Structure 1
Amino acid sequence: MKAKQKLIIGNILVLVILGVILGGAYYRFNHRTDSWQSLQHEKTLKIGIDDTFVPMGFRDKNNHLVGYDVEMAKAACKKLGLKPDFQVIDWSMKETELNTHHIDAIWNGYTVTPQRKEHVAFTKGYHRTGQVLLTRADSGVNQPADMRGKQLGVQSGSSGYTLFQSHPQDLKRFLTKAPIQYDTFDKAINDVQVGRLGAVLIDEDYARYYLAHSHQKVPLKIVSTNFPPDEMAVGVRKEDKTLRHKLNWAIAELHLDGTEQRLAKKYFGTPQPQR
């Protein structure tokens, strides 16, 4: 009998402890507070990035972290009196990293979508980009319809390939054969230069960076498409209303003082950012 009573008491204690743990977790996740005062105290903003995303955030030949968004984030943090602490994260887990406080912001070519709005709060959009065709200057391709009878290249799993499939009226309907998929854009660009491809469907930012910073064996050009553009913004936790407000102010200041335009020219080869 005593053994049974001890077992019952033990089970009750376990349930009480579990209740305290789960209750605390529930409270933390459902009574979150604005973290601006904490950020000011620490004077640091932890920013989640993918350091392979050219030209927004990537490693240069000396393994230094560079890129349009990296420099924008540094300049914005300076205006806010914060030090940026770039954290390389698993991009597929970015919203989880944010909402578990491992990072304070997602700032790395982060496209605004309805699905993402369910999990994070976005600043105002600060950059807009789209999908373009990168082709040889002498290819005769001046619009998507000119791809009839030509071979298209795409990057596997890219947003461009997703749009190619979901918006067939913009490019797919002009092709007579399926596009060749590549694991990286540089391989596809090489095949454009040697004539194996008529064009590669590519992110405009990447294309402009490539044209501005690479030695081309054969002159290339950009051809516009009608795919819907991507708007980029900074993602923060929904409760961090002060941080969102401060970032909106800092980004607006970077536009007014010319920083945004200077960085756009540096990384995209254009004097004005794609808005």
Structure 2
Amino acid sequence: MKKSLAGVLIMGSVMAALTGCTKKGTDSSSANYANTSETNSSKSSETGTFTVGFDQDFPPMGFMGDDGEFTGFDLELAAETAKRMGLTIKYQPIAWDSKDMELKSGTIDCIWNGFTMNGREEGYAWSEPYMENDQVFVVREDSGISKISDLSGKSVEVQADSSAEAALKDKPEITSSFLSYQAVPDYLTAMMDLESGATDAIAMDNVVASYQIKAAKKDFVILDDPITAEEYAVGFAKDNTKLRDEVQKTLDEIAADGTAKKISEKWFDKDITTIGKGQGEN
């Protein structure tokens, strides 16, 4: 993504850079920001805007489409939320390592782009989880790799500062078996390396991997055994519970009338949202 979705691998495009919002592991910089709720919530009401911070390189959750406009599941859900709240949606691309500064300064009202809450529970005011996700391994279809133990003696890549990297830090019994284990700047690099044979596997988000494999029509497969399970939610400044509660109320309404299901089916061909549902009922 960082360019047009069609500009890289699907039709010469879809494997867009895929950076950023997979950077969902525990961030040391996310631990503390207090006393921002009044500033941020009043900012939205005064300006009439709802500013969503996101990494523009993370299809299908948020990215730049072929028409040069921002699009994606999360951004569409955020736009519907803003509309029902009587606010104008504003998409604000951010550098992922600056997300806390952007949130604290009030430049953005929230982080909404495949943002994993696991490991960050105390750092933000969170909406309820709206989607489940796994961190998984992606391999070439003809690789002969069918389970995690088959990765012993193989080369593996992961995006730097991603949830997958964070998850694998807790799995030394897996990583110690790899021939090599390398963090790369983005998933465009990793996908190209996998296709060329420069690496044997990629650790990444299941939601994103599934979408990319289908869209780009690549001969890649996802191993059945996940590395770890996680949940996506909307992150607000820690004390900005007022805006968080308003957004949550609206999300509940969007789920109740079937709109969330409709948006999910548009992007994933099925309803994979968990708003108002017990786990495993999506």
| Offset of residue 144 of structure 1 | 0.5
| Aligned ranges 1:48-67 → 2 under 5 Å | 48-67=53-72
Structure 2: runs of 5 or more not aligned: 1-33
Distance 1:157 1:97, change over 3 A: closer
Change (3 A) 1:82 1:207: same
Q: How does 1:198-213 map to 2 (within 5 A)?
A: 198-213=200-215
> What percentage of residue pairs aligned between the two structures are identical?
27
Count of equivalent residues? 242
Secondary structure in structure 1 of the residue aligned to 2:116: coil
1:158 aligned to 2:171? no
1:133 aligns with 2:132: no
* Deviation per residue, 1:208-267 (Å, 9 max, x gap): 121221132xx2221133433232211223443332222112222333333333433444
Say yes or no: does 1:187 pair with 2:189. yes
Aligned residue in 2 for 1:248: 248
Q: Per-residue CA shift, 1:84-123, capped at 9, x if unaligned? A: 11222332222232222222222122221555624x3111
TM-score, normalised to structure 2, is 0.73
Give the equivalent residue in structure 2 for 1:107. Answer: 112
The CA distance in 2 between the partners of 1:202 and 1:33, in whole Å, is 36
The answer on 1:147 being equivalent to 2:163 is no
Q: 1:273 to 1:123 in 2, by over 3 A?
A: closer
- Structure 1: tracts of 5 or more residues without a match: 1-28
- Alignment-derived partner of residue 77 in structure 1: 82
Residues 80 and 31 from structure 1, CA distance in 2 versus in 1: closer, same or farther, beyond 3 angstroms?
closer
The partner residue of 2:52 within 47, 52, 56 is 47
The CA distance in 2 between the partners of 1:196 and 1:32, in whole Å, is: 47
TM-score (norm 1): 0.75
Q: Is the 1:132–1:203 Cα contact (8 Å) retained in structure 2?
A: yes
Conservation of the 8 A alpha-carbon contact between 2:37 and 2:237: no
Q: Which residue of 1 aligns with 2:96?
A: 91
Of structures 1 and 2, the larger Rg is shown by: 1
Aligned-partner Cα distance in 1 for 2:152–2:70: 41
The structure that is helix-richer by fraction is 1
Cα distance change on mapping 1:150 and 1:265 into 2, 3 Å: farther
For 1:196 and 1:89, locate their aligned partners in 2 and report how far apart those are by CA, in whole Å: 30
